[in-house]
Amino acid sequence: DTGVSQNPRHKITKRGQNVTFRCDPISEHNRLYWYRQTLGQGPEFLTYFQNEAQLEKSRLLSDRFSAERPKGSFSTLEIQRTEQGDSAMYLCASSARQGPNTEAFFGQGTRLTVV
């Protein structure tokens, strides 16, 4: 499978715990995005990397959230001190070329449940 891969697919955690998600983009893609989707809503942008550089962060990305892409390949999204409001589907996407009409390809997401 050469698509975007996300792990784990599901995560249940207790409030206050830290969690980390991983995203492996399509191998030749240099752009990587994280989105969050809650029930009944469209995905909301969290952050964007071009290679290893984090170029944009949403105001949704509080201080408890951090994302990295250390070698410009896979990326991790960490949430510290999770809250029930963090329960959502976290989606990763990647794209290859520059240009505003370049489509992004999404992974299957990691569903986080904070109890």
Partner 1 sequence: AQSVAQPEDQVNVAEGNPLTVKCTYSVSGNPYLFWYVQYPNRGLQFLLKYITGDNLVKGSYGFEAEFNKSQTSFHLKKPSALVSDSALYFCAVRDITGGGNKLTFGTGTQLKVEL
Closest by Cα among 29, 31, 34 to 79: 34
Taking residues 23 to 62 in sequence order and writing x for each that binds partner 1 by CB under 8 A, - otherwise, the string is --------x-x-x----xxxxxx--x------xx-x----
Closest by Cα among 12, 5, 3 to 111: 12
Q: Between residues 68 and 105, which has the closer beta carbon with respect to partner 1? A: 105
Q: Between residues 56 and 83, which has the closer beta carbon with respect to partner 1? A: 56
Going 18 to 86 to 53 to 51, the CA torsion angle's sign is positive
Among 19, 104, 112, 114, interactor with partner 1 by CB under 8 A: 104
Contacts of 45 (CB under 8 A, 6+ apart): 33, 34, 35, 56, 58, 60
Q: Does residue 18 bind partner 1 (CB under 8 A)?
A: no
Pairwise CA distance, residues 97 & 115, whole Å: 40
Tokens standing for residue 2: 């050469």
* Minimum distance, C-beta of residue 17 to partner 1, in the bound complex (Å): 24
Residue count, binding to partner 1 (CB under 8 A): 26
Residues that bind partner 1 (CB under 8 A): 4, 6, 31, 33, 35, 40-45, 48, 55-56, 58, 91, 93, 100-101, 103-109
